């Protein structure tokens, strides 16, 4: 069958959002809180494929409905502030009457399309930060609050620092502006410069958990029924538990099952099994491999030592396997906890936080 339901890729809006109501509510409430409140700066943290970008996109959609001017998710990069200005201009232009003026500025950025006239009086160009400030003031003066969405927050990017400083200045003058960011758990690490770190630590944090398996099961049942794909209860239950709560794997499994079904919605056991295998291969490639890629050799040795254990690992035993002191092992434990690859289970014990990572490591493909 042709699949037009499942979308196993990154940074796209799924056809149907599974779960996440509570977290979306918190995000909505945050951006609707009074100007200047702490909840207006929020940080979504979650491992790869857990749906950070999707949440930013959903929030953007809702905020637009409420009349906010939204800068759609911008990935942290060198010219991030200019990109944000372009997006705000593009979106907000229709709300601004032609006579509104933003004095000064870089004509190539502020002058295009959108109905905003740029006064020619000023002879020197203004900084990107200043143009962002003036644009926000302008939208606020027309009764629109502003929402900035920043994706893939990374350590030590100068442009993130500039954006944060500008946001804080705007908050200081009482502007109605929100800043919602998303990144991997390791993006808020001690290597960040103090200013950015302090800001991110004070922002309201939302840590993404895997999806609830029950929600996935209900979704699979509904969607496969609608598609006319015949699966036994056991097939659906097995597919559900195989997702491990990963939205990305949920999309992959759904996709491979759908394209394996014939035009009458039937697929035999072999095709079903092959669909699950294909999905898992893609998942390991896209999630496990990319999670491990930035790690140091020592981090990987730590994870490899952990992967020998069935479910949870004792730090003292890991240290023994690595032939290092417990306090040395604790340093690596902290780094991997921060990166979101492992989690504290019970006192002194850790386990993998990314589904199938242990299996991937044990497969010897790294």
Ligand X SMILES: Nc1ncnc2c1ncn2[C@@H]1O[C@H](COP(=O)(O)OP(=O)(O)OP(=O)(O)O)[C@@H](O)[C@H]1O
Residues of the shown chain interacting with ligand X in the complex, contacts defined by CB under 6 A: 7-12, 14, 17-20, 46, 48-54, 247-248, 251
Cα gap 180→204, rounded to integer Å: 9
51 binds, among Mg ion, ligand X, none (CB under 5 to 8 A by kind): ligand X
Choosing from 42, 53, 72, 243, the residue that interacts with Mg ion (CB under 5 A) is: 53
Closer to ligand X at the Cβ: 13 or 38? 13
Neighbours of 103 (CB within 10 A): 12
Asked if 72 is part of the footprint of Mg ion (rule: CB under 5 A), the reply reads no
Q: Which does 48 bind (CB under 5 to 8 A by kind): Mg ion, ligand X, none?
A: ligand X
Query: Based on CB atoms, which residue is closest to ligand X, 53 or 159?
Result: 53
Min separation Cβ 279 and Mg ion, Å = 19
Closest CA to 33 of 127, 196, 145: 145
Which residue number, 138 or 342, has a Cβ lying nearer to ligand X?
A: 342
The dihedral formed by the CA atoms of 5, 53, 152 and 73, expressed in degrees to the nearest 10: 110
CA distances in angstroms from 291 to 76, 255, 350, listed in the order given? 19, 23, 18
Q: With respect to ligand X, which residue has the nearer C-beta, 17 or 259?
A: 17
Q: Which does 20 bind (CB under 5 to 8 A by kind): Mg ion, ligand X, none?
A: ligand X
Residues 6+ apart with CB under 8 A from 42: 26, 27, 30, 31, 178, 179, 180, 181, 203, 204, 205, 206
Given the complex with ligand X, which of 139 and 248 has the nearer CB atom?
248
Q: Shortest Cβ distance from residue 60 to ligand X (Å)?
A: 13
User: Do the Cβ atoms of 67 and 147 come closer than 8 Å?
Assistant: no
Give every CB contact of residue 22 below 8 A, 6+ residues apart in sequence: none
Residue 254 CB, shortest distance to Mg ion, in Å, is 19
Supply the minimum distance, in Å, between the C-beta of residue 43 and ligand X.
Answer: 13
Listed in order, strand segments (DSSP E) in the chain are 41-45, 69-75, 101-103, 117-119, 146-151, 177-183, 204-207, 313-314, 342-344, 349-352
Tell me the closest approach of the beta carbon of residue 255 to Mg ion, in angstroms.
18
Q: How far is the CB of 21 from Mg ion (least distance, A)?
A: 20
- What pairs with residue 352 in β-bridges? 342
* Selected range binding Mg ion among 51-59, 86-94, 265-273, 302-310, rule: CB under 5 A: 51-59
Closest residue to ligand X, based on beta-carbon distance: 51
Contact yes or no for 123/81 (Cβ under 8 A): no
Q: Burial level of 325, CB count in 10 A (0-12/13-18/19+)?
A: exposed
- Residue nearest Mg ion, Cβ-based: 53
The site partner of 17 among ligand X, Mg ion, none (C-beta below 5 to 8 Å per kind) is ligand X
In the complex, the residues that contact Mg ion under the rule CB under 5 A are 52-53
């Amino acid at each position: 069958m042709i699949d037009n339901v499942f979308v196993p890729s990154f940074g796209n809006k799924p056809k149907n959002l599974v779960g996440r109501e509570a977290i979306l509510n918190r995000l909505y409430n945050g951006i609707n809180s009074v100007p200047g409140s702490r909840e207006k700066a929020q940080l979504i943290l979650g491992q790869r494929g857990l749906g950070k970008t999707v949440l930013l996109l959903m929030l953007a959609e809702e905020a637009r409905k409420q009349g906010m001017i939204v800068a759609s998710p911008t990935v942290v990069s060198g010219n991030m502030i200019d990109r944000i200005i372009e997006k705000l201009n593009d979106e907000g232009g229709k709300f601004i009457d032609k006579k509104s003026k933003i004095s000064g500025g870089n004509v190539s950025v502020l002058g295009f399309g959108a109905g905003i006239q740029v006064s020619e009086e000023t002879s020197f160009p203004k900084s990107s930060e200043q143009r962002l400030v003036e644009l926000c003031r302008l939208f606020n003066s027309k009764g629109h609050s502003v929402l900035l969405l920043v994706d893939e927050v990374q350590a030590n990017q100068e442009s993130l620092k500039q954006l944060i400083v500008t946001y804080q200045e705007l908050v200081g003058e009482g502007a109605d502006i929100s800043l919602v960011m998303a990144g991997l758990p390791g993006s808020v690490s001690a290597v960040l410069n103090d200013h950015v770190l302090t800001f991110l630590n004070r922002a309201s944090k939302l840590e993404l958990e895997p999806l609830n398996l029950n929600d996935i099961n209900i979704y699979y049942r509904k969607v496969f029924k609608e598609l006319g794909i015949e699966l036994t209860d056991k097939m659906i239950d097995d597919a559900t538990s195989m997702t491990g709560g990963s939205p990305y794997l949920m999309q992959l499994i759904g996709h491979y099952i759908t394209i394996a079904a014939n035009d009458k919605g039937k697929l035999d056991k072999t095709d079903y099994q092959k669909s699950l295998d294909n999905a898992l291969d893609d998942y390991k490639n896209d999630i496990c491999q990319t999670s491990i890629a930035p790690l140091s050799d020592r981090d990987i040795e730590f994870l490899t030592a952990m992967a020998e254990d069935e479910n949870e690992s004792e730090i003292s035993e890991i240290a023994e396997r690595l032939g290092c002191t417990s306090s040395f092992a604790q340093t690596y434990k902290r780094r991997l906890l921060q990166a979101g690859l492992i989690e504290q289970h019970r006192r002194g014990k850790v386990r993998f936080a990314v589904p199938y990572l242990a299996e991937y490591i044990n497969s010897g493909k790294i």
